[in-house]
Chain A
Amino acid sequence: MIEVKSLRKEFKTKFGNLVAVDDVNFAIKKGEIFGLVGESGSGKSTIGSMIVGAYGATSGSITFHGDTDISKDSKFRPHALKQKIQLVFQDPGGSLNPRKTIRQILSVPLELYSDKKLSRAETDALIAEALKQVGLPLSYMDKYPKAIGGGEKQLVCVARALVANPDFIVLDEPTSALDVSIQAKITNKLIDLQQKNNLSYLFITHNLCLVRNMCTRLAVMYLGNICEYADTAEFFDNPRHPYTQMLLASIPVLSDEEESCKPQRIKSVGEIPSPLNKPTGCSFHPRCPYKKDICSREVPPMREVREGHFVCCHCWDSLDRG
């Protein structure tokens, strides 16, 4: 569905070029929820923004449905293509216009993307359909965003993405601003909608537990590079990259069973360096407990360690499960 090849994005800043995304490759299949995990500053949102066309790539390519190149800014995209790729943001409060009613908010994509001018009744019917899909009552149509709860606001954002009738939705941390009990509701709704409408998602998050329960495949990013990329089950059974092991070991968990799923011997040390001043070679080497000489000299290549399981590390075969 979406294929990303040697994607690179640089931003010009006062302090020099900031490489936010560097040589990233992955592919998202149709009907799949693909997780993109990483800590702040790892470049995961930048990739999401490039897919929706908020800005173009510096180099590399993103293709949609095999042949359409979408690595350029969205102003080079035809309307029909914009419609197929939608976005849901992290902060539901900030992404809805407080001065418009839910009806007005949801009618914008309809006005933008429909071929002919829709009558009032037709618009209302489509909006009602979208609200029904996300499980909100129709009486919400004439409410303002401030009158509804945080979880419901996020559902309105999802409905806004759905009225455009997309094939692919980028979910940029859709639940991290919400409470646990509401987060559960929204994620279940999202999974439900994905199956019903045969959608594909790019699910950007920092919460590995959510990814474990939601995604079919995932990629872990560190400082603009993908360091590990695998099927969810394979990934959690057999994490190979030291950073992924560190990430897994750091999750505060709720039960002893979960404790036993985590890599035991690795400890979190150090902090993410500034992307303006990336370490040479493997970008993780200053924090890595297994580092060798080669790690600071050469950028490790992506290797397939099992079918569909890729790791970007020089010493992957000499480490155990940690």
Chain B
Amino acid sequence: MEMEEKRMQNEFALDVRNLSVNYKIYEGILDVIPGLSLHVGKAERVGLIGETGCGKTTVLKAVARVLQSPPARIKTDGIYVTGTSIDGRAGMKQVRKNVSMIFQDPSTSLNPTLKIDTQMMDILKSQFPKHSKSEYRQMMLDSLAAVSMPAPERVLGSYPIQLSGGMRQRVCIAISLMKDTELMIADEPTTALDVTIEEQILELLDKLVREKKKSLILVSHALGAVRKITDRVYVMYAGNIVEAGPTREVFQNPKHPYTIGLLAATPRLTGEGIADGIAGDLPSYLDPPEGCRFALRCPQCSDQCLQTPPKLESVSADEGSWQVACYNAGKGVTTCQA
């Protein structure tokens, strides 16, 4: 009930209620997301982790209203950005005003045929119309300075190809910072970058989000990156959220068999060898299992798991801060061996 109250008071920067997405393709219907709810509080930093094909990007695209439909078919009880629904034309306006997005690959999210200043100018003109050229230029320089870009003057006059990967990602972040949005969505912002550059970009995101009190969703399959800069984490498997809770605690002591397996499979710096990973593959979205979608790969699968999908249920003392969707959560599953 506490949650309902928060909803009423618009305390969420993002509130997704029972979103379901399927794609109609030639072979049939891909039931990608059966029903997913998540929320991001104001000035909260939330991680969304999961492996390739688990539907992370589909959720984000639905939130940013960039999911192509058809083939996607979206059904939802409502997606709210800072308390306003994103439905219809007014909703689109709301999204444009309050949501900014950073994509995975900085080399393809910038237009290769335009100089950086031209690309930044487009955004500025739409956000802050009727300023003079020198004012715009100053704004651009300011936003590049905010992402600690070396030699901002030179960068403005370059084409994306003349910049390195890290610099391009900094430009993308600078562009997303130019409008003062409430919610920032970062879709694998560091996957294409080297580890020393990744560190710099993560630090930068962390600093900016803290300073400007923005809400952040960081989507990644790099678990370490998520641990570094988020407060809360959602773990996704095959279109469902299987575990949600405070990041550090979840990583220290995961409860869902999938989370356990995923964390065990990640090689550690302490060097105690590598666990065997999780047996099997993602189920096909064309014909997903009736019960729990992880059941067929799960070491603790019971009859109940095969029949009805489990719901997210609280496993922590304070109501709802740590939830797991598993019938056997916390009942002695400690390892997830293949």
Question: A119 within 8 Å of B by Cβ?
Answer: no
Query: What B residues does A271 contact at CB under 8 A?
Result: 164, 166-167, 197
Question: A250 within 8 Å of B by Cβ?
Answer: yes
**B194, B196, B278: most-surrounded residue (chain A CB, <10 A):** B196
A39 CA to B200 CA, complexed, in Å: 14
A253 CA to B167 CA, complexed, in Å: 24
Question: A13 within 8 Å of B by Cβ?
Answer: no
A16-24, A180-188, A314-322: which lies at the B interface? Answer: A180-188
Specify which of B196, B224, B338 is in contact with A253 (CB 8 Å cutoff): B224
Q: Which of A163-188 contact B (CB under 8 A)?
A: 179-185, 187-188
Per-residue 0/1 for B188-228: is the Cβ within 8 Å of any A Cβ (1 yes, 0 no)? 00000011111110100000000000000000011111011
Specify which of B166, B228, B261, B270 is in contact with A252 (CB 8 Å cutoff): B228
A212 CA to B274 CA, complexed, in Å: 10
Query: What A residues does B268 contact at CB under 8 A?
Result: 209, 212-213, 253-255, 258
Question: B281 within 8 Å of A by Cβ?
Answer: yes
Query: What A residues does B266 contact at CB under 8 A?
Result: 180, 184, 209, 254
A305 CA to B129 CA, complexed, in Å: 62
Query: Chain B, interface size: which category?
Result: 35 or more
Specify which of B52, B195, B200 is in contact with A247 (CB 8 Å cutoff): B195
Query: If the complex has contacts A149-B281, A253-B269, are A268 and B262 also in contact, measured as CB distance less than 8 A?
Result: no
Per-residue 0/1 for B50-61: is the Cβ within 8 Å of any A Cβ (1 yes, 0 no)? 011000000000
Question: B265 within 8 Å of A by Cβ?
Answer: yes
B194 touches A252 (CB 8 A): no
Query: If the complex has contacts A236-B269, A252-B202, A261-B270, are A180 and B262 also in contact, measured as CB distance less than 8 A?
Result: yes
Question: B275 within 8 Å of A by Cβ?
Answer: yes
Interface size on A, residues (CB 8 A): 42
Query: What B residues does A213 contact at CB under 8 A?
Result: 267-268, 271-274
A236 CA to B269 CA, complexed, in Å: 8
Q: Which of A237-294 contact B (CB under 8 A)?
A: 246-258, 261-262, 268-269, 271-272
A268 CA to B195 CA, complexed, in Å: 9
A256 CA to B195 CA, complexed, in Å: 19
A254 touches B274 (CB 8 A): no
* Number of A-B contacts defined by CB within 8 Å: 123
Question: B263 within 8 Å of A by Cβ?
Answer: yes
Query: What A residues does B338 contact at CB under 8 A?
Result: 185
Q: Which of A19-66 contact B (CB under 8 A)?
A: 39-40
Q: Which of B68-123 contact A (CB under 8 A)?
A: none
Q: Which of B235-284 contact A (CB under 8 A)?
A: 251-252, 261-278, 281
A256 CA to B224 CA, complexed, in Å: 11
A210 touches B267 (CB 8 A): yes
B136 to chain A, nearest CB (A): 28
A184 touches B224 (CB 8 A): no
Query: If the complex has contacts A40-B194, A180-B223, A247-B196, are A255 and B251 also in contact, measured as CB distance less than 8 A?
Result: yes
B195 touches A261 (CB 8 A): no
A187 touches B270 (CB 8 A): no
Query: If the complex has contacts A207-B267, A253-B224, A254-B224, are A268 and B200 also in contact, measured as CB distance less than 8 A?
Result: yes
Query: What B residues does A257 contact at CB under 8 A?
Result: 270
Question: A206 within 8 Å of B by Cβ?
Answer: yes
B263 touches A181 (CB 8 A): no
A250 CA to B201 CA, complexed, in Å: 11
Query: What A residues does B227 contact at CB under 8 A?
Result: 252-254
Question: A141 within 8 Å of B by Cβ?
Answer: no
Query: What A residues does B194 contact at CB under 8 A?
Result: 39-40, 206, 272
A251 CA to B265 CA, complexed, in Å: 17
Question: A208 within 8 Å of B by Cβ?
Answer: yes
Query: What A residues does B274 contact at CB under 8 A?
Result: 184, 187-188, 210, 213-214
Given contacts A252-B227, A258-B269, 5 further A-B contacts (CB under 8 A): A39-B194, A213-B271, A252-B223, A261-B269, A272-B164
The 5 nearest A-B residue pairs measured at CB: A252-B224, A184-B277, A250-B199, A184-B265, A39-B194
